[in-house]
Structure 1
Amino acid sequence: MNKKKKNQSSFKLHLPPFKKVGTSKTTNNGNQSFSVNKKKEQVSKKPQSLEHTLPKLKKQRQKNLLTRLITLILLFSFAILIVVYFISPLSKVDMVSVSGTKEVADQEIIDISQIKSGKNLWGIFFEKKNISKMVLADLPQVKAMEISLSGLNDYTIKVEEYKTVAYLAEDNKYYNILENGKIVNESRKVSIGNPPIFKNFEENKALILMIDQYKAINETTQNSISEIEYTPDDIDDYLIKIYMNDGNEVIASIPSFAEKMVYYPDMVKKIGDQKGTFNIEVGAYFSPFQYNDKKKDEENAQKTTPEENSVEIDLEEAGE
């Protein structure tokens, strides 16, 4: 018993000393830190700042939700409008018109382009270039074409054509000869307008050169020409014979045709009322027609040279 009492009396509880609250604390550098009381004041202020922040966050969240809702409504509305548009007749071609045509029929261009009433409007819009190429390939008369929207769902095809400079006569049929040297395959029974008649021509260099020379002469001389016949020989690959509306004939070479035909009106004045053949292939000679026996005269003319059977004309004097 005495031992137990001794042990109990010898047991001591060691506790650290209590620190005073509110005292300031100094760091190793000697700077005084904030007091605990100030920290308590800061903690007590935090709930007040949250009370002001929460309503703002709530309003911002509502604003974001409203913006998303409006965006979704607009997207769905736009999608519905697109669907309705493509179902409605407004997305289909209503009318097709053609302008600028003279030689080609409007319906022929519409048929080749395949632009018809009821077809998809925008499908044609994005295929305009391919449609134009297809028409140009099928119709040599068409120089250029432009497809454009007119109104809500109508199309207008504006066409530019090559001019017809002459007609090719073959087997009592007439074929358009275009300014680019192409001969249209479609024939007609009669020629239209003032363009001259070409004979024995083909799509080659001679035809293109002949067209260029013909376009180089003035309109008055053009209108005085009735027919141009291609008559090449061993000496001149570009020899031609021109039949004039006044009854005369002209023998010329295509490369110098325009240059020498300038003098034709003055040569006619110099000859007077006589009718015959003007040879302007080399120099300028005139041979009057012999009406008694024309076939015999033609044979003799082939056997003789121009100097033996014709009168020489000075082009410089004729030009004066």
Structure 2
Amino acid sequence: MTNGKYAVEHHKYSQRLTELEKRSAAAKQRQEGKKSPKAHIGNKIRGIKVKRYVSNGERVLKLVILFSLILLLMFYIISPYSKVKDIKINGNHDLTRTQVEKKTTVYPGRFIWGVYLNRHKIAQQAKQNSPQIKDVTIKVIGPQSLKLTVKENALLGTAVMNNDTYAVLANGKLQRTKTADNGIAYKRFDGHREALATTAAQLGKLKPAVRNGISSVNYQPTKNYPDRIIIYMRDGNTVYADLNTVGDKLAYYPAIAASMKDKGVIDLQVGAYSYGYGSKDK
């Protein structure tokens, strides 16, 4: 009897102890559950701090690089390494390299950045300094190298007026010269500078193949044709033309000359017709 009672009490004690262990484990689990969000927040804060450090580092690095580049640029600007050392010139035919450098004022020793920043002004001044320069473009092709591309007003020939010799350009402008070339000889324009300029501008429209076939141009106005010019061709033909329209009409000269049986006169003053020398049908 006593043993049975003792067994019952022992069983109850075991159950109570088991229940207490379960409660303790549950309480511990609840405590761990409460601590886990805090740990998560802490990890998140640490991650934010790391990202902030990385972002600040990148920002500082960018500023360092930027200021370094600015310092290098400033050093380059004031150093001899920014001076022009090599100049390549393209497009010049009548003008020499030395003449291009002189008229553009672009020469070795100038600061390359100064030339580039003022390139448009330099081009304008070059055209004013030399009527032969139609245009010039300036490009930087290296730390100390420039490329000048020149467009010229073609040199058509020479004219003597008032004992002065002038180079006649394709744009109609005149430029004093000391030597006569082998181009077109403009004659009898003395005192008629405007007529010469108009004639030259008209002939400047022609293709070189036609223009190079002209030996000389004489200004010979008449009462009926006050703007008449007489053109002597190198192939032996003579052309009568109006100085205001000769550039357009003389473009057809090759075809007209090819249709002629003998050398003669081509009249382009009014319309276009031709006849041989000595022909009565004039």
TM-score in terms of structure 1 length: 0.58
The residue that corresponds to 1:163 in the other structure is 154
Structure 1 match to 2:218: 229
Once residues 210 and 43 of structure 2 are traced to their aligned partners in structure 1, the CA distance between those partners, rounded to angstroms, is 98
Q: Secondary structure at the match of 1:312?
A: coil
User: What TM-score do the two structures reach when normalised by structure 2?
Assistant: 0.65
Cross-structure match for 2:189? 200
- Partner of 2:224, secondary structure, is coil
Q: Distance in 1 between matches of 2:239 and 2:221?
A: 14
Q: Which residue of 2 aligns with 1:183?
A: 174
Alpha-carbon distance change, 61 to 214 in structure 1, aligned in 2, over 3 angstroms: closer
- Higher mean C-alpha displacement, 260-269 vs 122-131: 260-269
Q: Hey, what does 1:77 align to over in structure 2?
A: 68
Which structure would you say has the larger RCO, counting Cα contacts within 8 Å and 6 or more residues apart?
2
Computing the radius of gyration over CA atoms, which structure comes out larger, 1 or 2? 1
Instruction: Using the TM superposition, give the Cα deviation of residue 222 of structure 1 relative to its aligned residue in structure 2, in angstroms.
Output: 5.9
Q: 1:105 to 1:171 in 2, by over 3 A?
A: farther
5+ unaligned residues in a row in structure 1: which ranges? 1-36, 271-277, 289-310, 315-320
Change (3 A) 1:113 1:42: same
- Aligned-residue Cα RMSD (Å) equals 4.3
Structure 1 counterpart of 2:202: 212
Q: Distance in 1 between matches of 2:207 and 2:57?
A: 79
Structural mapping, 1:50-89, within 5 Å = 50-89=41-80
2-structure distance, mates of 1:57, 1:191: 83
Q: 2:262·2:276 contact (CA, 8 Å) conserved in 1? A: no
Contact 2:169/2:200 (8 A) holds in 1: no
- Kindly provide the CA deviation profile for residues 230-285 of structure 1, in whole angstroms up to 9, marking residues without a partner as x: 12233321123445668887766545774799469947558xxxxxxx69578878
CA distance in 1, matches of 2:200, 2:51: 83
Native 8 Å contact 2:217 2:230 kept in 1: yes
Number of aligned pairs?
244
Q: Give unmatched runs, 5+ long, in structure 2.
A: 1-26
2:280 maps to: 312
Residues 189 and 195, structure 2, Cα contact 8 Å, conserved in 1: no
State the one-letter code of the partner of 2:280: E
- The AA in structure 2 aligned to 1:189 is T
Measured after TM superposition, the shift of residue 118 of structure 1 is: 3.1
